């Protein structure tokens, strides 16, 4: 049995209940998005090494953390790595597109009376999503009757998104 399959099997042991699985399908992507979003807000002026403003804007701690995560995935499975690369890219582009819309004031005046900027909006939204999603995750594990896997081994925080991706791969008969 491959290492990745062993990790998926071990992760699955505490994710048998249907309600808990549904909660994870919703919350794992939300937690991933909120973490990447929060990391993108950390000042990173020392990374302004590119002559291109777009590359300087998109380069952040979130990209570094994603890169390190992708190294973890490629060591386990090339196909999981590719899927996580696509998913991570979508998340990063979503975050930066949201910031771009704020700069252009393209939210149809929804935030005009709030006097809120894009960074503040992203910060509050990310924190709220992060807290809400983790509360639901722990509720799911209470329903399951088992502790979250990451309490046993921190690498299971990285296995969660890949575990969901493996379900998608299995559905479309893609080997991982």
Quick: pLDDT tens for 124-133. 999 999 999 9
Domain total in the chain: 1
Specify the higher pLDDT residue, 50 or 172.
172
pLDDT digits (tens, 9 = 90+) for 99-144: 887 776 666 666 666 667 778 889 999 999 999 999 999 999 999 9
Residue 30, Cβ density class (10 Å: 0-12 exposed, 13-18 middle, ≥19 buried): middle
Domain holding 79, by residue range, is 21-171
In a domain, 95, yes or no: yes
In a domain, 125, yes or no: yes
**Residue 82 CB coordination number (10 Å):** 16
> Kindly report the CA angle at 55 between 54 and 56, in degrees rounded to 5?
90
In a domain, 110, yes or no: yes
For the chain, what is the mean pLDDT?
88
Q: pLDDT at position 167, please?
A: 97
In a domain, 63, yes or no: yes
pTM of the model: 0.88
Indicate if the pLDDT at residue 147 is higher than 90: no
**Which residues are CB-contacts of 45 (< 8 A; sequence separation ≥ 6)?**
none
Q: pLDDT at position 52, please?
A: 63
In a domain, 72, yes or no: yes
Average pLDDT over residues 54-67: 81
Q: How confident is the model at residue 66 (pLDDT cuts 50, 70, 90)?
A: very high
């Amino acid at each position: 049995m491959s290492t990745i399959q062993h990790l998926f099997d071990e992760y699955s042991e505490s994710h048998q209940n249907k309600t808990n699985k549904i909660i994870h399908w919703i919350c794992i992507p939300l937690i991933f998005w909120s973490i990447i979003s929060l990391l993108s807000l950390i000042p990173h002026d020392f990374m302004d090494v590119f002559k291109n403003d777009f590359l300087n804007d998109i380069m952040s701690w979130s990209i570094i953390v994603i890169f390190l995560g992708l190294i973890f995935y490629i060591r386990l499975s090339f196909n999981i790595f590719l899927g996580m690369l696509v998913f991570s890219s979508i998340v990063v582009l979503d975050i930066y597109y949201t910031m771009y819309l704020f700069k252009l004031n393209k939210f149809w005046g929804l935030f005009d009376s709030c006097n809120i900027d894009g960074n503040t909006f992203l910060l509050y939204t990310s924190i709220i999503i992060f807290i809400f999603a983790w509360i639901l995750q722990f509720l799911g594990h209470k329903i399951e009757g088992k502790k979250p896997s990451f309490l046993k081994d921190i690498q299971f925080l990285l296995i969660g998104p890949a575990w969901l991706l493996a379900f998608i791969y299995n559905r479309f008969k893609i080997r991982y």
